[in-house]
Chains A and B, each alone.
Chain A
């Protein structure tokens, strides 16, 4: 008895979905837009974090020593720096390596390299490349290097101000998130209204059937049930459609993103694949909650049983 009741409610719900096909299509497309913008929000978040870590990992400070400072003293400075808790690693670059790198960077035949050869000898001193655990550590490192003991050995410190870049990046992703949140909310509200209207139209097109159902003694749940089933179908189809649309889109934009960030660590496709179940599950639960509540409101309002 219970099972046949449930089966019939489901059957009627599925019938309603297909018999009001264009209404269903409109509802599903707005819901899909909402779900896509939610997904975009999640992916932007991931992308923002990847961008910040990528930039942060590229930050380092180069300390160029005077030409007359010998290697052993540079190595003493290196050990001193390594003693600081903020420092992650310190790389020693010898004057020969610097010269080699300079030649590679500028080309063997360039004017600059030729003029260097005229000077004879190596104009480069030793270099230490310092990397901190995080960006806030660089100020301490700089202070340490400014101590007279070290300052006299150092020709030049090169700490390009990545910090500004990181904070700018954070600001951009923050603003983007707010924007996407607003878009999601807007789509959400539109979706709510559309679902409400769709249920209303559905009730209207079924008014004859509903009045007959009532007259022959259908219970309230039997009349309302199919509308909930229909709302669930809308939910599943829109989330499914989103996955179908988003997955190929990610595969297409992936190479561009990797080129942009210059790093293979940007892998939204595998992020999406790994988290597919929880992403889809949460979205189904969220959207289902939204459509079911809307349906409840609409049926209570337009379907006085």
Chain B
């Protein structure tokens, strides 16, 4: 689904929910943010960096500055919790000693210090999502983009994840939460941007889910 005439400004440190029904262009927005897709016209500026014309060799650098959390986790099944988190640093060429220092910190934030040696299939969906969040944190990103992070979770796990995102936002990280979960959005009481058929139909500070 395409997006048209989207004009948004998300300030540093904000917690923004982007809501809308399936197929309205929410995921397209996420893909544009991490340069998985390019805008056909217009500009996307992140922290003063115009990424609408970013070169493919610069895309990795962009992605290390934005932490992404997915509905389907995207964990490597043959790597342990620890290795999955370390992987994001390994591919970026971070020294092993740094990796050994950073990974336990990230796992501590998400509360998984006791499960570092488990494989993804040995832990619950909520725990897997926490591993993904830990992985997205290791580059100390300014922005976390969570695309339906609770889509595959039951309500208890959903609240755990939302709480975690809120805490991360409390550290000063901008959080962009893409969701169609009415309860979550209503309880957050933060800015809500509603997208419908590719258009921004409302943008309200302390908004509610209105569709």
Contacts and interface: CB of A to CB of B under 8 A. Distances in A.
Q: Are the chains A and B members of one assembly? A: yes
Interface of A: 1-2, 4-5, 8, 208-209, 211-220, 222, 305
B119 interface: no
B117 interface: no
B87 A217 contact: no
A216 B93 contact: no
Nearest to B89: A216
B76 A209 contact: yes
A25 to B, nearest CB: 21
Interface in B59-99: 60-64, 68, 70, 74-76, 87-88, 90-96
B63 A215 contact: yes
A2 B95 CA distance: 9
11 contacts: A4-B93, A4-B95, A8-B91, A211-B74, A215-B63, A216-B87, A216-B91, A217-B64, A217-B139, A220-B56, A220-B60
List 3 A-B pairs, minimum CB-CB distance, nearest first.
A218-B91, A217-B63, A217-B64
B95 A213 contact: no
A212 B93 contact: no
B57 interface: yes
Contacts, number: 59
B34 interface: yes
B180 interface: no
Given A4-B95, A4-B96, A217 B61 contact: yes
A212 B87 contact: yes
Given A4-B96, A305-B56, A217 B91 contact: yes
A1 B93 contact: yes
Interface of B: 34, 56-57, 60-64, 68, 70, 74-76, 87-88, 90-96, 135, 139
Given A8-B90, A217-B62, 7 more contacts: A212-B74, A215-B70, A217-B61, A217-B88, A217-B91, A218-B91, A219-B92
Nearest to B64: A217
Contacts of A2: 93
A277 to B, nearest CB: 36
Contacts of A5: 93
Contacts of B64: 216-217
A218 B76 contact: no
A215 B31 CA distance: 11
B93 to A, nearest CB: 4
A211 B56 CA distance: 15
A305 B59 CA distance: 10
A212 B76 contact: yes
Contacts of B87: 212-213, 216
Contacts of B94: 1, 4
B21 to A, nearest CB: 25
A180 B203 CA distance: 75
A216 to B, nearest CB: 4
Contacts of A4: 93-96
